Amino acid sequence: MENKELIKQVTEKALKWLTPAYDAETQAEVKRLLDNEDKTELIDCFYKDLEFGTGGLRGIMGAGTNRMNIYTVGAATQGLSNYLNECFKDKEEISVVVGHDCRNNSDKFAKISADIFSANGIKVYLFDDLRPTPEVSFAIRHFGCQSGINITASHNPREYNGYKAYWDDGAQVLAPHDTAIIDEVNKVTVENIKFNGNQALIRIIGEDVDKIYLDKVHSISIDPEVIKRQKNLNIVYTPLHGAGRALIPASLKEWGFENVNCVPEQMVKDGNFPTVVSPNPENAEALSMAIALAKKMDADIVMASDPDADRVGMACKDDKGAWVLINGNQTCLIFLYYIIKNRIAMGKMQPNDYIVKTIVTTELIKAVADRNKIEMRDCYTGFKWIAREIRLSEGKQQYIGGGEESYGFLAEDFVRDKDAVSACSLLAEICAWAKDQKKTLYDVLMDIYVEYGYSKETTVNVVKPGKSGADEIKAMMDNFRANPPKEIGGSAVCLIKDYETLETTDHKGNVTALDMPESSNVLQYFTEDGTKISVRPSGTEPKIKFYIEVKGEMGCPKCYTAADAEAEEKVVMVRKSLGI
């Protein structure tokens, strides 16, 4: 009965898409969905409207309210325009930045969005071609805009596209604006969308902004002298067909690196991502061509950016000369270790400097910060929360770096989203600094483990697509709350943090409040042996994520293999305890 009611509801929604307000191609696709006896696809396309999550609007491209198309993009832009016109009604001129990545339909969605903004009397700074997400964030601040969007689905598979919405501080939209924008979007009917743009209000931008942005990125270099000594550092880089190709090689050159080798097949802009299964630098497969080139050239470092160039992935040679991937937790750890260590060494560290990480990112970063007496803040997953910390302390304290386990890092405050352009440039500097000491990036990581203790982090993604998957994910979270584990991996749970109720419960049952800006559907378990488990549904993809961190000790760099094997055994036990 429930299923019949759902089919009835989605059918009613779909039939509205067969009116003349929608183009012929869209109507034909909706008709195909309605005519299909199997209603699964129809339900997936119409059972809900796309909503802003931790990464904004994101979905599979196609017809329907739960798909990315000119009408859902149009409604989002019209709703955002309405909200901007209300919020800034006393302003003489409201302006926005519009950017896009390499994905199929990205340039089309960007131009349509620019038309809609301008039709609503809003000035638009439209990038002439694909650009990195962080440059869009920078441009919003640079031009003094009230908002901005980037059309991208980040590192998602090729069938996806997305819509990242930003506020006047260059950060992704937070409450109350996120829900208020959705309220406006939900009021929009297709007839309300002003598709006919006012070209007089659209200004094309490009290289002029690139130069200013790249100069600012160069200003964060901590030790330019070490780059001069190691200017021939052998770098292999791939943009995975995406926006990094526009700026990352140029940034590396501006920093002084003269031996940058790009993977030629992946320097081609292509939304089908023909050389990879998925354009995600977190995946080993995505870096395979770059590593093959690195082996051929005996490179020092491999770096990759995702399609919108906000995430960075990397690989280096281990102590045996084999190429290994550096995971997201290790990436964030290495960046912050280098920034802290070298700012102190060069007398650049100030008493009010601070760093930020997300709650699911490795606790080793806190160990580094504590020992060096640097303030470290924890925040929710999603760079908009790191940006919030920067905004709250602007003019009072100096942000010097922050990141999260999902391969995002931000080394500066003039951008308010993760930035692979500055991250790749700083990574090259770290490698140059290591080489100057006859070390590799791998050696730096081993030094950190010896000094601060070993930590192994594993993320397990349980994918549950569609409406039924969303229901399963909810049931899993409900079950964890109703029946919290007493022990995990053979060690007693001594602390539980529930970010939905904003309560911490210790092993004696004592409850204290969690100081966070709002509630979030995240659970964390801490055990007596130092293990940390975080559980949360993804805000951008149909999956529930388990973040596992187990602790160990390393007496020397050569002890890594044994420490890792012992930690892996513990991870297996943890997974068994959690049933994943």
* Per-position DSSP letters for 241-310, written without gaps between them: TSTHHHHHHHHHHHHT---EEE-GGGSS--TT-TT-SS--TTSGGGGHHHHHHHHHHT-SEEEEE-TTS-
Q: pLDDT higher for 387 or 156?
A: 387
pLDDT of residue 91: 97
Name the band, by pLDDT with cuts 50, 70 and 90, for residue 52. low
Name the band, by pLDDT with cuts 50, 70 and 90, for residue 540. low
Neighbours of 347 (CB within 10 A): 7
- Check residue 555 and report its DSSP letter: S
β-bridge partners, 236: 261, 302
Across the range 74-98, mean pLDDT stands at 97
Assign 3-state DSSP to the chain and report helix, strand, coil percentages, each to 5.
45, 20, 35
The domain made up of 213-452 is a member of CATH 3.40.50.170: no
The domain made up of 48-205 is a member of CATH 3.40.120.10: yes
pTM: predicted TM-score of the whole model, two decimal places: 0.94
Neighbours of 565 (CB within 10 A): 11
Give kind and range of the element (H or E) at residue 338. helix 328-345
List C-alpha distances in Å: 96 to 436, 489, 509. Answer: 44, 50, 50
Percent of the chain with pLDDT over 70: 98
List C-alpha distances in Å: 283 to 239, 286, 292. Answer: 14, 6, 15
β-bridge partners, 87: none
Cα–chain-centroid distance for residue 512?
A: 31
Residues that are catalytic: 154
Q: Is the pLDDT of residue 276 over 70?
A: yes
Across the range 548-576, mean pLDDT stands at 95
Q: Is the pLDDT of residue 164 over 60?
A: yes
213-452 and 454-578 have identical folds: no
Cα(531)–Cα(535) distance, integer angstroms: 13
- pLDDT for 106-153, tens place per residue? 999 999 999 999 999 999 999 999 999 999 999 999 999 999 999 999
Across the range 200-229, mean pLDDT stands at 98
Across the range 72-82, mean pLDDT stands at 95
Q: Is the pLDDT of residue 2 over 60?
A: no
- pLDDT for 440-497, tens place per residue? 999 999 999 999 999 999 999 999 888 888 899 999 999 999 999 999 999 999 999 9
pLDDT of residue 1: 34
pLDDT of residue 390: 98
Q: Which CATH class is domain 454-578?
A: alpha beta
Structural domain boundaries in the chain: 1-41, 48-205, 213-452, 454-578
Cα torsion through 76, 81, 87, 89, rounded to 10 = -170
Which sign does the torsion angle of CA 11, 15, 16, 17 carry? positive
Q: Is the pLDDT of residue 205 over 90?
A: yes
